[in-house]
Structure 1
């Protein structure tokens, strides 16, 4: 589907699309998207997945987490298709936050690779892959011009590599994050601003 998201009646729209999918014999829905993330451009774009089905989630090896947030039409369609027994998932590329305002072909390449893994639909897109390679070279040059940018990318690389390591090691991958109260976070932010010159 291609077009603007409806402004209202999302559930009704989702049900209508799902019923059309049943009528046309659709056997799977895959939505593709991207979002800004604290990720370095020097690593392959990571993919995360969303789906209302545990069985569908088990078929792909993408990052996953559980968060309740406002969603878009892709999420509504995932649930509407699932209700009609059509396997559905969303594949999301993590785009480095510092390039989120520009085109980022590496995310498109990662999404196509993810589409292949999830559905068996393979798209070579050699031109896009070359564009991603050239874009990486341009970003490397831009980052190399400023030491503070190099430092930021190095930090992002360390965080990225640590996350990958924790996901692959069950003992470190299940580390619980400390949950802080709103008052504690507000006090920490106020202290940060007081310390700024």
Structure 2
């Protein structure tokens, strides 16, 4: 492996961090309901951050598979949105510093990238790493959003019951980071918010709020979530209206409610993990209707956006 330290540069003026928590919220893996994106954007918008380290994306990103957008105006190139993979320091509502790792998930050199992040964890005295994720599930929007918690030690996620037994999923750089930290006897955990599979392609702020509240509960950080809670109530109202206007949709949601209630009572039987396409044709149809509805609502609120 090439030297992982050559993958990043650390800022000259580092803040006083103590023993911070590092929240990992990379882009590129499954992000149902855009929950991880909403969570990290909310933190960046509501808290003042300071750059700590930047990664050399030219070594990590395949531009042909994820081409950065460029703006062309009349007869010239106006701008280029260069991808940034960086580590920033923030301070929570109680004045406690924490770190946030954001940017595109590396397309290659995962082991080297993970080694680089672990080197930064050592250098910055990180005590705990927390990963954010969201997955589509066969659950109704009318029930409280659930979360799957995982960790390198069971003691880190006391109070969280497992939703899944054994499942094989595609790997991700963030999950590999947690796995390697566990192999080294370090503390790391992660949360995957459950998003109703029929709105997995739309924005679902309830899942983003759940991710941040889960981090707060497990780490003691006081992370803001009021704006996400308000947005979640609006989205819930929009979905309720759409479902109420379609008998087929109402029937499907009722069936999901019955399945969800039975599952939570016994925590056995059906696996609620769902693919993006959904296991039921009616769920696909409902999902398409709801996604179109929410997209129209967004266009109405952001004309020309």
Normalised to the residue count of structure 1, the TM-score between the two structures is 0.79
Check conservation: 1:37, 1:94, Cα contact below 8 A.
Answer: yes
Q: Trace 1:10-89 onto structure 2 (pairs within 5 A).
A: 10-57=110-157, 59-65=158-164, 66-89=166-189
Task: Flag structure 1 segments of 5+ consecutive residues without an equivalent.
Answer: 168-172, 178-197
**Deviations, residues 142-163 of structure 1 (Å, cap 9, x unaligned):** 0011011001100111111111
Q: State how far apart, in whole Å, the 2-side matches of 1:158 and 1:75 are.
A: 32
Change (3 A) 1:53 1:70: farther
Normalised to the residue count of structure 2, the TM-score between the two structures is 0.52
Secondary structure of the residue that 2:175 maps to in structure 1?
Answer: helix
Change (3 A) 1:62 1:103: farther
Q: CA deviation at 1:69?
A: 2.1
Q: State how far apart, in whole Å, the 2-side matches of 1:80 and 1:88 are.
A: 10
**Corresponding pairs, count:** 170
Answer 1 or 2: which has greater helix percent: 1
Change (3 A) 1:111 1:137: same
Check conservation: 1:48, 1:94, Cα contact below 8 A.
Answer: yes
Check conservation: 1:109, 1:128, Cα contact below 8 A.
Answer: yes
Computed over aligned residues only, the root mean square deviation of the Cα atoms, in angstroms, reads: 1.9
Q: Trace 1:123-138 onto structure 2 (pairs within 5 A).
A: 123-138=223-238
**Deviations, residues 46-88 of structure 1 (Å, cap 9, x unaligned):** 000223434434x241434332322211211102222343311
Q: 1:154 aligns with which of 240, 254, 257?
A: 254
Q: State how far apart, in whole Å, the 1-side matches of 2:270 and 2:232 are.
A: 36
Check conservation: 1:50, 1:89, Cα contact below 8 A.
Answer: yes
Check conservation: 1:45, 1:94, Cα contact below 8 A.
Answer: yes
Secondary structure of the residue that 2:106 maps to in structure 1?
Answer: coil
Q: Which runs of 4+ in 1 moved over 6 A?
A: none
